[in-house]
Structure 1
Amino acid sequence: MLAVLPRCGGATGAEDGLTEGALTAVEQAALPASCQPQTSLDSRTLVPVGDGSVRSDQPDVNMSSVSTLYVDAAPTRYQSYLRFQLEGEGGELVQARLRLYAKQGTHTGLSFHPVTGSVYEPALTWNTRPAQGAAVTTVASVANDAWLTADVKGAVLDRHTFDLGVLPLGDDGAEFSSREASNVSRRPRLDTVYRYDWCTYRGSGTPSQAWAKTLGGTAREQARALLNLPDGSGFVLGGAYHDGPAQAGGAELPGPSGFLVARFNTAAQHQWSRAYGVGQPVSLEAMTVTPLGNVLVVGTYEGSPDLGTGALPYIAPNTPAVGMFVLKLSPTGNPVWARGFHAETRPGWAEGQVYTSIAVPTAVATDANGSVIVAGHFKGYMDLGGGDLYAGSMSESRDDSTRSLFLAKFDYSGGHQWSQAFYTVDEYTVASALATDAGGNIFMGGRGNNATLATPGLRVGTAFVARFAPDGTPVWGYGLKGGGIGRIRGLAALPDGGVAFAGGFNGTFTFQGQTYSSHDPTHDVRPDDGVFGTLTATGGEGWVRVLTTQPSGDVAEQVAVDGAGNIVVNGRVSAYTLDLGGGELGTPGLPQGGALRFVASFSPTGAHRWSRMLGSQVSDAFMAVSPDGSTRLGFTFEGSTPVGTTTFSSSGLTDMGLIQFNP
């Protein structure tokens, strides 16, 4: 994990503290000033992958399986060797501290040497011992039943493997616990610290950090949504928690599990927080806020949980079935109403063979009237208030994996207005994103090849964006054109009537006459590279950008638009570095890297404005962008990780963080 600046020093005969001087002498890496460099230190304790002693009087004897390491000069000379596998790829090693437990100490001293050749246990003898270099440090004495600590950084010759020799300075021998010692706590170890200097920000103007806040208790809290209040007075956070009571800025929320909603003012001061479905099998899937500040939550459930307005219709637990709920909360968090729905398969309707199936809401939006617009997927048949929706013949059996999409609209009181289904033949079909514009038009995005949602004839697994009139009438459908698969995960309405999108793709697609290819086109289930861009009000192609770092695993997850039409995107890449158009962010080998979170802003025409890398242990990031361009983030993190100018430290396994960057 990322650590605070440690102390380091030379060899001693006891496990004492470290002095501060060695690290302050390390020069700052040469990074461009525009990248807002940040330094992190990664501290790790390693155990040897091999060790053993050799003796001069028995030059062919292998002693690697014994529980003791011997060092002595006379009458028989013993020398000991250790091998460690280093883990600091990309960083600068600033400390390597060997610790050995002395079962028997020495008053004539020891020396520590880099060795070349192999410390390979099965073949280690006096005759095959590796060649040794000059001593990098010595100790004059070691006490009995005490830890020896030695700074051996100078003996590290290779970035990946570290072989070390421990030799006697006199005839008073010493004995140390080896890696075969029965007492695990006394086995050898190597404490390392690596320094990483990395770019966190690129752009012509640096967004200042307004505030930062950590939320968390003993539970595992996870951010699930972040929405600005339409009147500009603050924002609301949605989250989930497990394994204990939760903390969202106010009084402790009861455990052991549930989902939470919390409201804050513009300075991130807590106003209220409440828990729902405590100890019940419920899951928050998506959330939005109406113009009057009511909070709309959609999710899944089993059993008959009470979310504050009475028990939901029963769904048998521990079966393949799952129901969906729609919950409305007042601006103060009080439950107003809740609706529960289920789907069912009817393989033998005439014989009474009816089974509860799955109904999963995956996105929710609202409009100027406070309507509830929900999208998701289901199998079999489902009635949301307007009669049966049908998922198609390939979802009629309990064993069928194919599912179809639905889109529905309810009024502010939960009354059904309209609902419709979109038949597909893909078990991975999903509606991941919803957005509405000022006129109440609806944009839906996801993965599917239904002709209403995407250009007819596109393959299974197409990334689509579709527009509907306020009454549900389809206006147009657009799918990424090509031989690949994809999924749109985020949508935001543009001031000119168009829509910005964010998601992932695999294979190839063509946009504005140019063909784009993913890094690894062989996968056909999940998208491997990121994509984001714009479509016009009529479904025409605007501009597009792709993320194709190595290895594959990139995705643009969310998109928002500020008052000037600038687009803000957040997502992740499975790489140590990324370039979103303003220059490289990150650094090779960043600890916990390989899954970097980013947030970036682009002009209405797609030009890079600024980009920022979030901490290396950040996940599940959600953003809310204000008309003036201020960007708020709610995210899940673990351990200790820097975001902006703040280092967040979790009190539980995972906590939630909040941060705001001004324009």
Structure 2
Amino acid sequence: MRTILLNIFLITFHLTTSAQTFQWAKGIGGTWDQIVDDMVHDAAGNMYMVGHFYGTVDFDPGPNIYNLTAAGNMDIFITKLDVNGNFVWAHQIGSTYSYGHGKSITVNTYGDIVIIGEISGSGAVDFDPGPNTVNGNNFEGDVFIARYNSNGNFVFVKNFGENFSSSNYEYDIVFSEAYSLLGAAIYVTGKFSGTDDFDPSAATVNLSSNGNKDIFVCKFSYSGNLIWAKSMGGTQDDESTAMTTDASGNIYITGNFHGTVDFDPGPSTTFLTSYGNSDVFVIKLDASGNLVWARQLSGTSSERSKSIALDNAGAVYIGGEFSGTIDCDPSNATLHNLTTSLTSYNGFLTKLDASGNFVWAKNVGGQEIEGICITSTGEVCIGGSFSNTVDFDPGPNVLTATANSWSDIFMTKLDAAGNLAWTRQWASSGGGTGADYGKAMSIYNNDIYLAGTFEGSVDFDPNQGVSYLASAGGEDIFVLKMNETTTSVEKHRTKSLTLNVFPNPTPNNIHIQAQTNLKGVEIYNLEGQLIRSKRINNQTEIDLDLSDLPSGLYLLTLNDEKGQSYQQKIIKK
């Protein structure tokens, strides 16, 4: 084995790139677990998050302290941060013997927010964070919607249904400010079983499931009064997972279904039949709940959707996960198959036009795609989490990343055609069984915000800087901000670094020894394309497997803990 001793001095190179600039990361934590489930931005850039927590949590991510202590076994939280991530307010919902789950949150142009969640257990629950008491009673198995103004003051709470007691149910809620005689509306979707009354007033509007679990969608007025309720489902389990609306008040819902389902909630029928264990559906309803179109994505095994978004042209983006093979073209005439060799699930992203016709589909690597954001120029950002080793490049090139812990966080940006622009990974420094999850995304002025949970210590600056957050106990909450600028970048590095790199040339692997702690490594081909990226947690020695790379010359870039970057050519035989 031949060892090459390298001294790297002045390195200069130019490239024009879409550079992602890390702005900040904020942490919210306590001695127990805190889980964020959703995040939105208002017109002024303030962000609102909803989720649940145990024990005592400091909800001020800055130097001050704002503690809330769960009254019950698990309480719901709502918190507001300003555009710079500074604390504004936080509230909790819970009672002595309750379990609360905040599922989704939406905001209108005036900063009014509505959350949807569920509470199980006994005891009265006070939904008013002020001096007044507004108790919700007999909430066992019910879903509630609660509205607050931008200052966090209570407006109303409504509850409906009785068969929603499972904490793993998915619900989504959105405001629609499309003009109508009834003003702004609130849409809610989820799944239910049996017969339920969906009218929170003294009146009764019952829906009955056809099978085990069916899909529901409801429209409420701005005051929380039920306008209509619809259901869809077959004889097996069916669920909606995400929803959005357009400027005309049309509703777009995605989810998963088994067997044969009539997706027309009216008197007509539109049947879709799953081909695998479960298929993905996407439907469009008008503002009155009438079906406009229904589409499905089918595969050989199980396919699950997790998120949905619209761009300015009305195109629909669906993110999810699949195993085996999935046909992402909903038409019967053509196939557009994506395949994965992973034993676990792999992520997919599909784009349909405003009429539900196929545009493109990409195999995007991360298994849990929890959020999709579309920029004003049609670029697509996705975020979530992944395990094991995945390829984040949806094209013919390869950009693999390996999770440092049980689950790592990722954010990926694609151009308008679905080609990879960049991807970033965050992981706990301890590795092992630690779990880090991206749970929610939001966009404001083309800046991307990602929120989720982490354990241990994580450096949230994906570039050359350092921005560590350390959890106070179990799973803590993070929120980070990235912005995007297209610039001409010139790098100069004059500091020398002594490395042992061997063997070079190499048929398969290279081993790197450094005299400083390394933070990351990247490999570029001669066209300047990033083909490999790996996060390193302050190690001085690393091994890289290059066996899957074609023979040729590559540029190795190393980043150390002090923000210095170093480059060296390597040869793959």
Pair in the same fold by TM > 0.5: yes
- The TM-score normalised by the length of structure 2 is 0.69
Please list, as runs of the form range in 1=range in 2, the aligned pairs for 1:127-146 lying within 5 A after superposition.
none
Shift of 1:255: 2.6
Q: Which runs of 4+ in 1 moved over 4 A?
A: 26-29, 356-361, 581-588
Equivalents in 1 of 2:193, 2:221: separation in Å?
25
Aligned: 1:546 with 2:546: no
Equivalents in 2 of 1:27, 1:557: separation in Å?
43
Identify the match of residue 654 of structure 1 among 470, 475, 489: 475
Residues 567 and 602 in structure 1, CA contact (< 8 A), matched pair in contact too: yes
Partner of residue 117, structure 1: none
Shift of 1:207: 1.0
Identify the match of residue 517 of structure 1 among 334, 339, 346: 339
Partner of residue 169, structure 1: none
Equivalents in 2 of 1:33, 1:413: separation in Å?
61
Aligned residues: 431
Residues 376 and 431 in structure 1, CA contact (< 8 A), matched pair in contact too: yes
Equivalents in 2 of 1:203, 1:515: separation in Å?
33
Aligned: 1:633 with 2:450: yes
Shift of 1:239: 2.8
Equivalents in 2 of 1:209, 1:278: separation in Å?
39
Aligned: 1:341 with 2:160: yes
Aligned: 1:405 with 2:215: yes
Equivalents in 1 of 2:30, 2:12: separation in Å?
37
Partner of residue 151, structure 2: 332
Partner of residue 363, structure 1: 172
Please list, as runs of the form range in 1=range in 2, the aligned pairs for 1:289-368 lying within 5 A after superposition.
289-302=107-120, 303=122, 304-308=124-128, 310-315=134-139, 322-343=141-162, 362-368=171-177
Identify the match of residue 205 of structure 1 among 9, 18, 39: 18
Equivalents in 2 of 1:433, 1:576: separation in Å?
27
Query: Aligned pair in 2 of structure 1 residues 609, 357: CA closer, same or farther (>3 Å)?
Result: closer
Shift of 1:481: 3.2
What amino acid is the match of 1:633?
L
Equivalents in 1 of 2:390, 2:337: separation in Å?
24
Equivalents in 2 of 1:462, 1:254: separation in Å?
41
Residues 223 and 238 in structure 1, CA contact (< 8 A), matched pair in contact too: yes
Aligned: 1:579 with 2:404: no
Aligned: 1:247 with 2:45: no
Secondary structure, counterpart of 1:424 in structure 2: coil
Please list, as runs of the form range in 1=range in 2, the aligned pairs for 1:31-430 lying within 5 A after superposition.
204-229=17-42, 231-249=43-61, 251-256=66-71, 257-279=74-96, 280-302=98-120, 303=122, 304-308=124-128, 310-315=134-139, 322-343=141-162, 362-368=171-177, 369-385=183-199, 387-392=205-210, 394=211, 402-427=212-237, 429-430=238-239
Partner of residue 441, structure 1: 250
Secondary structure, counterpart of 1:653 in structure 2: coil
Query: Aligned pair in 2 of structure 1 residues 285, 509: CA closer, same or farther (>3 Å)?
Result: same
- The TM-score normalised by the length of structure 1 is 0.60
Partner of residue 94, structure 1: none
Unaligned ranges ≥5, structure 1: 1-25, 35-201, 317-321, 345-355, 395-401, 522-526
User: Going by fraction, where is strand more abundant, 1 or 2?
Assistant: 2
Shift of 1:601: 1.4
Query: Aligned pair in 2 of structure 1 residues 568, 463: CA closer, same or farther (>3 Å)?
Result: same
Computing the radius of gyration over CA atoms, which structure comes out larger, 1 or 2?
A: 1
Aligned: 1:642 with 2:459: yes
Residues 463 and 505 in structure 1, CA contact (< 8 A), matched pair in contact too: no
Identity of aligned residues (%): 20
Query: Aligned pair in 2 of structure 1 residues 361, 504: CA closer, same or farther (>3 Å)?
Result: closer
Query: Aligned pair in 2 of structure 1 residues 267, 423: CA closer, same or farther (>3 Å)?
Result: same
Equivalents in 2 of 1:203, 1:377: separation in Å?
48
Task: Report the more deviating stretch, 610-619 or 462-471.
Answer: 610-619
Equivalents in 2 of 1:545, 1:310: separation in Å?
48
Identify the match of residue 263 of structure 2 among 442, 452, 455: 452
Residues 259 and 278 in structure 1, CA contact (< 8 A), matched pair in contact too: no
Residues 48 and 81 in structure 2, CA contact (< 8 A), matched pair in contact too: yes
Query: Aligned pair in 2 of structure 1 residues 234, 479: CA closer, same or farther (>3 Å)?
Result: same
Secondary structure, counterpart of 2:69 in structure 1: coil
User: Highest relative contact order (Cα 8 Å, sep 6+), 1 or 2?
Assistant: 2
Alignment RMSD (CA, Å): 3.0
Query: Aligned pair in 2 of structure 1 residues 475, 577: CA closer, same or farther (>3 Å)?
Result: closer
Identify the match of residue 416 of structure 2 among 569, 582, 604: 604
What amino acid is the match of 1:457?
T
Secondary structure, counterpart of 1:253 in structure 2: strand
